[in-house]
Structures are given as structure tokens and as C-alpha cells.
Chain A
Amino acid sequence: MERVPPIKCIFFSEFHTTAGPIITYQVPEDYLSKEAFDTVHVYIITKPQLQNRLITINALGHKIMGCPVCIENPKYPRNMLIFNLCLVIDATASTAPFEIIVKKLAGYLTNLELENEFLSNEEQKSTLPNIMSRILSELNMSGTCNIPINKSNTIHLKLVLPHEDALEVADHDVPIFLSSKNNFQRNQWDLTTQQIIPYIDGFNHVARISVETDVEINLVKGCVQNLLHFNIIAIISIFQYSNVYTVTPEINRLAEDKQMQESCIKYVAKSGRHRPSFHNVFMLYCGLTPGTTVRDLCTRFNPHTLKIDERKLIQFGMMKKLIRRLHKYPLKLPNESGSNKTKHLYKWFTGRHHYDDICCKTGLSYQELDDRVESDPSVVTCWK
């Protein structure tokens, strides 16, 4: 997991009725000088239009993140209370993990003020430096903190790294466990995931799992996406002898990494007793070129005599991204009439859908689709 950059300083700043914008409390003390604050205070205690917005100013070697809050009420000296609790991080650090924290803290303080006059009551306000230093040390140490303030309010914070959007899972994708299924703590997961897990074996595709487990396909996709996000499974393609794969530059890793070689040999062996030689395994991987189907590879090298299981060979290669699948995309040429037999399939022949996709959507088998495409002169195919 990527390391979260440390928080350098937390300060509480407010609009003082007579002194204007000031830093009221700061932990550690004097991290940000008064001059520095005066330079940037327009972005911290700012115009009311910008309240409740996350403002980050990168200046003077710091990134200062704050969310100014303005509470209007006639009970305050200037009819409003303006404050901002800011985090300071390194100028080069990423702000992404802290954004939510700054917002949340602003929310907590607003609530506390509205409920208990936490900020306008000097006595209560003086506990703030203590709270701030706890937030600072606990977030930097463990990434989480829970600080009870009073009977009804507790500050809960957790640093969460932003993650990338979940990958799309298609009907024809095949999930496969990255490590042994036995290591998997099944009862931690929700019921649907528990239900589909027995069917994740590296051969069943999503649509099939949905049918076998009688779970709605979108639910299956959701579970698979979730497992994918936690790096428990990988997505590979349906194994077919007509598939074409090609090696990726990652193959160098296999050539150099002794441990990976060892696990590879173990994985692709036909039976536990007879270990295939690495030379042969490597040769088979390198034999995967554009234009060579798995069937061609098998006839050329006969993996069975080499004690290699070609299905597992492909699985391992896909899991470790040593190889990638080349898909076949049928494409209807625009200026030709085409035949009636395949007309209903033309909507798929845009160059955006590959064979697996079309087969899954239309229920045709690979062979049936291939025959139709082959017999229609107005459709060409493209491997990519």
C-alpha cells in the first residue's frame, strides 16, 4: 500500500472581532509563522462565497488545506462566526487522502458549535489544541483516530487512499483466485460472495457462474468487481483452443525471477510428481505469437509430453500478465451489401465487439459465429 504523506501541522484559525484573521491554536507551535499566515490568509479566512469549499493553497513550501466555515447568528459579535481548521502538508505531497478529513473536521466543528457553542465558549474552545495534537499524532501514526469530545460527539477520522474506479467486468470474463482459495476467509464476506466463491475456479465465466449459482448476473459482477478491487482475484478470458495470445514485455520478469519460475513450474505441471522443465515452459510462452492459436501451439509442441497442462499455462500467464489475449473483432465493411444470413449480427460488427463478447450476447458458439463471419465476404476480421 502506498504510504500516506505525514501531516506536518494542524492549525485553527478564525476571524477575530478586533484582530481580524488570526491563527488561534497551532500544533506543533509556531510551525507556520505569522508572516506566512498573513500572506495566505485570504485563502483561509476568506469571502463568505467560498465557505464550505475545500481550499488548498500551495505556497511557501507548504500545502495548506482548509474548509472555511461561516455560521451566521445574531448572537455573535459580528453576526457571524468564521473559522477554519487547516491541515498543512508538504508542498509535493498529494492532497487526495486528506480532502475528506478536512471536510469532515469542518463538519464536526460546525456541529459542535451549533449544539454546544463549542467554539464560542472560551472554556470549551481551550480543549481544542489538545484535540488537534491527538488528531495529528494519531493520524500520522496509525491513519485513524477516534476522539470523544462530549456525550454525543466523537471525532472519527480515517485516512483512506483514493482508489481507481472499479474495472468493468463483462459477461465473458473468467475470475480466478490469485492465491490459494483455502487462504480465503470465507465468512468475512457477504452471503452472495460466499455463494459464488465455490464456482470461481478459473474456468467458469461470469455468465455461467450466474446461471450455476442462480444469482442475478449484475450481482455476480458486483461481487467479482469487489473481489477484484481487493486483489483477491484476477480476470482472465475463457480458455478456448482457438484463442490467440501474445507475450508482453512482462515476460522478462519470468526470465529473471527465480521464485516466479519456481511457482510457474509448480502451477503448470500436469501432475505433482513430474515437474516440467523451465526451458519447455518458457519455450511455450514464447511460442504464443499473433497468428498462433493455442491449438497450433499444442500441435507444434505437444505440451502433454512435456508434462505441461496448457490450460494452466495460459492461466498462469494471464494472471501474472506475462501474456495477453488477442481478440478477434469482426468488422462489416460499409460499402458492401452483405448476406441476409448474417444481417441480424451486423450491429455487433462495428469493430468494438470481439468474438467472446458477441458469443456471450447472442448465445452463438465460437464455431457458429466464425462460420458465419467466414462465409460473408463483406465482413473482415481484425486481431488486436
Chain B
Amino acid sequence: MWDFDPVGIFLVTSGSRGDQLLFRYPFEADGGVGLKGKSAFHTNPYAIRIAEDPKPRNSPQPCIKNGVLVGYSNELLAYLLAVKSDLCGQKFDLTIDDVRFVGYPVLLQRISQSTPRRELPTMISFHVVIAVRAQVKNSVVAAYHELTQKLALSFHHEEQRCGYLNTQKNLMQGIQEEVTTLPEDSYENPFKLMVAKGSKCELSKDLKAVYDNLGNSGIVSLYVNKWIYVSFCLPHKVHNILQPELKIEPEAIQKCIEALRPYHGLLLMVPERQLLESLPPDCSPAMVRFIKAVSPLKRLQTLAADADLPLGQVFHLSSHLVYWAIMGLPQQLVGLGGRTQGYHGASATIGRFSALWLFYADKVMVLLHVTFQAQQVQMVVWMLQRRLLTQLHTYVFLVLTSSEKNQTIYYRTHSTSVSEDMPFISDTGSVVSGTSDGSPRTSSFAKSPSENAREEILRRLPQSLHMNSVNREAICAVPAANNLEDLKMFVRLCPYFNGQFHLEEIMYHENLRRSQLLTLIDKFRSILVTCTHPDPATSFHGK
């Protein structure tokens, strides 16, 4: 039982015959159990009356029992939920103690005050309401609002197209009236009859299905009157159903979708065949092509090429599927993908795997074998599908320490764009003065051609580094800086060394191979510090 599961679903209409509760689910045996004006205590004439009751007078009973709304009689619900026409066409939100009613009332006909009661239409407005626990988060309420709105609008459309709602209403009313004429001992709950087998109340059955599906899977997919397709997913539920302990919030999903990059790989959470069968018949052929091409071993870029779709569309499709929890959150199986493309050796990949995957929860598997096997890929995929693993990324920081006062200079770029393309206003004066009084090595010698070339390269450093002679010196002091090629590469990658970019991202942006990047980091290791932690955007495990 989840906190955000609905506790009831209702359909209320108001019209010439007053406010009516057409349908409620789950139905109680008898309405009005808990909500009584006086507690049962006082109704017993032999009960001892306590003169000064220390507790507040008849403190209300909770209205949700076993995840079901109790204590609200049909009349009370009709009274509360049949709203005035001013409130129609907008979200409805009513909280009574521990229950929150979320709905979307729709006005079918605008009527003026002067219309005589006899000429009033039998249905002026209707209202689809879902009741939830009052303490649920606002995002859950927003999701239910969306669902009720979708349902209400589709009912409205069908009513206008073919009078669907009126037909269904008459059926439901018929059943309700039938029940009242029955002798007392053969009383049946009218709502139960509505959803019984063989009943013609399609609408009631649909609403029941909505409630049940929300409780089971969090996904609603329904054809109203076999015509209008209504689909909805409760992100709070679909993402957490496999691993209830993780508590993935929809905000995190949103963040994750925004963090989608072309080098990410995607993982199907449900078998491909099952997914293809569950797609609506009118779904985009691009989606089918995309799903057929998806493999955790491919990056989105490759996927786009394989499915013959523009990258932008692939992004849209994948974020859609991620939202619906059909796709795993972007996990980078690029290590694997890279391997199949022959980017780097098998042992390196496995090394990365063993080091970077944190074993999660109670499944323990050993992935430390050097031999790379398809089976192990399968194992990783399986664990990823169940979100037992977190991926760790390596981030690089440039941390300079000047020798004099142990003063630390940390440099951080403010733009993510690579500064090498930026026109740099060369400040020769400051460069010369900076080197002449700061570094004895450069000042004592006349500038050799290589020296000049070095200056030229250093000039491309981001401004905050470039302007400070101490920083420049610290960089030049690294032995690898003597190699112009290495220095050039270092300067080029400098903007990424602020802990905001992980290796895969740098590799992607600069079109580098992992080995190249690692070698460079190793060469400059005295001023570069690497650390590994999960990507905050795609990870939910960080406690």
C-alpha cells in the first residue's frame, strides 16, 4: 500500500433532479459509518457520562481505513462534490481532515438564474473526483488533477459526440432505482451491480479499472466509449514499483530527462515484445523503429543512426519512455558500447566496471573476472533494470598550489564553452611583466622559439588562470608542460577540470578516446585531482 494510492473514485452529476452520486468505487457495504454527529459513546443511555471530557469534544474519526475512504455517505459526497457552476472548468481541490478530493468538474450547459426549474436539463454539470490522502505531496495531486481532467474532457467530448454520458447516467440511475424497489432482505449494493459482469455500465467499469490500475501499476490506459484514448502514468508509482526503498521523486526524473546526453545508453525495463504489443495501434512508427533498435550497448547517437531518426527525435522518444518508466534512466553503458566499437581493450572496460559499479542491496555478484563475457553484460543489465547498481563517474579538478604561502588557488570556469574558440585579447604587457618578475626560468633567458610557442598556448588558457602569473607558473612547473603537444591538450581541456564534467562527457565534447584523456590526466596528476562519485543528475542512491 502506497501513500499516494487513491482511496476512492467518484462520479457526481448535478441537474434538474438535484445532485447525484452516480458512481463510487470502492463501494462500502453501507454509507455513513464513521461520520456521525455524535459518537456512539453518548448514545448508550447507561454509559457513564464524564462531566469534563479532557479530550476535545467528539474528535473526528479518521476517514481512511485500509486504504479506502469510509464514513462518507452517498448523499454527503453528492453534496460536497456537485459544485456550483462557477467552479466548473477548473481544477477542484478540497481537503477535509485526512482526505483530499481532487477533481475536474465540467459544465455541460450554461443556465441562467431565470430558467424555470422544469426546463432545466437533467444534467448541468458532472464531476470526476479522485480521493487521496491529505498528506500526499503536491506533485501527486497535480498528477491526479491531470488524470481527472483527461477523463472529464474525454467524457465531455463523447457526450457532445453521441450523448454517451447521458446514456450511461440513465443506466446507472436505472440500477440505483431498481435497488431501492427491492425488498429489504435482498438488498444489493447498486454500485456493485454496475460493475458486475454483464452490466452495460461501461463508464462504471472504466472508472473501476482506472482505480484498480492506479493501485496496481500506476498506469492507466483506457478507451472511453471505445473511442477516445486516455493514457496516464503516475510517475511516483511507476518508477518505484520495483524498488520501493529508493523513493524516486518525479522531480528527479525530470532532472534526469534534462541530463540526457547523446553518449548515454538506454535500457529497456520491460521485454521488447511486451512493450511493442502494449503500444496503441496509432502510435508513431518512429517509436516502433526506435524500440526495435534500442540496446543497452548503444549510445543514443548510434541509436539515432540505426533507427534512421534525427537525434532530436530520439531524445524526445527516450525522454518519453524514461518518464513512463519503460526505459531505464540514462545509464551509460558506453563502456560496453565503446568496447563493441573497439575503442579500448577488454580489460580496461572490465576494470572500469569492477571499480565503478557499487554493489547495491542484497544481490551480490562478482564481476571481477578479467574475461569479458556476454553473460556478465546480462548480469549488469539485470541489475540495472532492478536499479541495484549505481554508476560512478570520474570527475577532474584542477587544484593549484603555489609554493610560497601555501596559498591555494582554485580555478573555476564560468562558461561551459571551450575557451579556445573565444577571441582572446592578448595582454602582452602583463604576460611579459608577469613572467619577468615571477619566474626566474623564463626571465633569465631570451625567449627561444619553443618558449614563444608555449606562451602562445598558455595565452589560450581561460582568463582567470591566464592572468595570474602564479597559476601559470604552477602549470608550467609540471614536467609534462615542457611537451608542447601535451600542454596544448591540457589548455584545451582546462575548462572541463572543474568537477562539473565527468570523463565520458569530456570525451564526448572533445572527441577524445578514454586512453588519451587518462594519459593526459596522469601526466598532469600533480595539479589535477580526480574523484569518483555518482552523477547527481542521474543518481538516486546518494544518501
Contact mask for chain A residues 276-312; partner B; CB cutoff 8 A; 1 contact, 0 none = 1111101101100111000000000000000000000
**Which of A247, A256, A280, A381 contacts B410 (CB under 8 A)?**
A256
Contact yes or no, A282 B95, CB < 8 A: no
A310 to chain B, nearest CB (A): 17
CA distance A181 to B412 in the complex (A): 34
The answer to the question of A1 belonging to the interface, with a C-beta cut-off of 8 Å to chain B, is no
CA distance A48 to B60 in the complex (A): 12
**Which of A2-10, A55-63, A194-202 is the interface stretch?**
A55-63
A242 to chain B, nearest CB (A): 18
**Which residues of chain A are within 8 angstroms of B535 by Cβ–Cβ distance?**
249
Contact yes or no, B76 A384, CB < 8 A: no
Contact yes or no, B532 A247, CB < 8 A: yes
The answer to the question of A186 belonging to the interface, with a C-beta cut-off of 8 Å to chain B, is no
Contact yes or no, B500 A49, CB < 8 A: no
Contact yes or no, A52 B59, CB < 8 A: yes
**Which residues of chain A are within 8 angstroms of B364 by Cβ–Cβ distance?**
331, 380-382
The answer to the question of B355 belonging to the interface, with a C-beta cut-off of 8 Å to chain A, is yes
Contact yes or no, B358 A282, CB < 8 A: no
Contact mask for chain A residues 365-384; partner B; CB cutoff 8 A; 1 contact, 0 none = 00000000000000011111
CA distance A247 to B401 in the complex (A): 21
CA distance A285 to B533 in the complex (A): 12
Closest Cβ neighbor of A43 among chain B residues: B94
Closest Cβ neighbor of A276 among chain B residues: B406
B360-417, CB < 8 A from A: 360-362, 364, 392, 395, 397, 399-401, 406, 408, 410, 412
The answer to the question of B349 belonging to the interface, with a C-beta cut-off of 8 Å to chain A, is no
**Which of A40, A53, A246 contacts B96 (CB under 8 A)?**
A53
Most chain A CB within a 10 A radius of its CB, from B86, B500, B534: B86
B383 to chain A, nearest CB (A): 12
CA distance A47 to B400 in the complex (A): 72
Contact yes or no, A50 B35, CB < 8 A: yes
B362 to chain A, nearest CB (A): 4
Contact yes or no, B531 A261, CB < 8 A: no
**Which residues of chain B are within 8 angstroms of A249 by Cβ–Cβ distance?**
533-536, 542
A322-339, CB < 8 A from B: 324, 326, 329, 331
The answer to the question of B512 belonging to the interface, with a C-beta cut-off of 8 Å to chain A, is no
**Which residues of chain B are within 8 angstroms of A247 by Cβ–Cβ distance?**
531-533
Contact yes or no, B56 A54, CB < 8 A: no
The answer to the question of B543 belonging to the interface, with a C-beta cut-off of 8 Å to chain A, is yes
**Which of B91, B400, B412, B532 contacts A289 (CB under 8 A)?**
B532
**Which residues of chain A are within 8 angstroms of B412 by Cβ–Cβ distance?**
255-256
Beyond A277-B401, A278-B410, whether A246 also contacts B532 by CB under 8 A is yes
The answer to the question of A275 belonging to the interface, with a C-beta cut-off of 8 Å to chain B, is yes
Contact yes or no, A286 B410, CB < 8 A: no
Contact yes or no, B362 A49, CB < 8 A: no
Contact mask for chain B residues 92-121; partner A; CB cutoff 8 A; 1 contact, 0 none = 111111000000000000000000000000
The answer to the question of A140 belonging to the interface, with a C-beta cut-off of 8 Å to chain B, is no
Contact yes or no, B406 A275, CB < 8 A: yes
**Which of A49, A95, A255 contacts B35 (CB under 8 A)?**
A49
Contact yes or no, A277 B93, CB < 8 A: no
CA distance A284 to B530 in the complex (A): 10
CA distance A51 to B36 in the complex (A): 10
Contact yes or no, A57 B93, CB < 8 A: yes
CA distance A53 to B500 in the complex (A): 51
A54-110, CB < 8 A from B: 54-60, 95, 107, 110
The answer to the question of B434 belonging to the interface, with a C-beta cut-off of 8 Å to chain A, is no
Beyond A39-B87, A249-B536, A383-B359, whether A255 also contacts B96 by CB under 8 A is no
**Which residues of chain A are within 8 angstroms of B533 by Cβ–Cβ distance?**
246-249, 251
Contact yes or no, B94 A382, CB < 8 A: no
The answer to the question of B499 belonging to the interface, with a C-beta cut-off of 8 Å to chain A, is yes
**Which residues of chain B are within 8 angstroms of A42 by Cβ–Cβ distance?**
79-80, 84
The answer to the question of B529 belonging to the interface, with a C-beta cut-off of 8 Å to chain A, is yes
A345 to chain B, nearest CB (A): 17
B409 to chain A, nearest CB (A): 9
The answer to the question of B498 belonging to the interface, with a C-beta cut-off of 8 Å to chain A, is yes
Contact yes or no, A278 B399, CB < 8 A: yes
Contact yes or no, B529 A54, CB < 8 A: no
The answer to the question of B57 belonging to the interface, with a C-beta cut-off of 8 Å to chain A, is yes
The answer to the question of A252 belonging to the interface, with a C-beta cut-off of 8 Å to chain B, is yes
B399 to chain A, nearest CB (A): 5
The answer to the question of A38 belonging to the interface, with a C-beta cut-off of 8 Å to chain B, is yes
**Which of B355, B362, B397, B531 contacts A331 (CB under 8 A)?**
B362
CA distance A318 to B532 in the complex (A): 17
The answer to the question of A28 belonging to the interface, with a C-beta cut-off of 8 Å to chain B, is no
Beyond A275-B406, A277-B408, whether A382 also contacts B362 by CB under 8 A is yes
The answer to the question of A148 belonging to the interface, with a C-beta cut-off of 8 Å to chain B, is no
Contact yes or no, A52 B57, CB < 8 A: yes
Contact yes or no, A59 B92, CB < 8 A: yes
A246 to chain B, nearest CB (A): 7
A292 to chain B, nearest CB (A): 10
**Which residues of chain A are within 8 angstroms of B408 by Cβ–Cβ distance?**
261, 277-279
**Which of B37, B57, B87, B531 contacts A48 (CB under 8 A)?**
B37
B78 to chain A, nearest CB (A): 11
Contact yes or no, A282 B37, CB < 8 A: no
Contact yes or no, A291 B399, CB < 8 A: no
Contact yes or no, A282 B399, CB < 8 A: yes
A129 to chain B, nearest CB (A): 27
A-B contact pairs, 16 of them (CB 8 A): A39-B86, A42-B80, A43-B80, A53-B60, A58-B91, A59-B93, A247-B532, A251-B499, A255-B410, A275-B406, A278-B399, A279-B399, A279-B527, A282-B529, A290-B358, A384-B358
Sample of 10 more A-B contacts, CB < 8 Å, known A40-B84, A290-B358: A48-B37, A52-B60, A55-B97, A56-B94, A255-B397, A258-B410, A261-B408, A278-B401, A279-B408, A283-B399
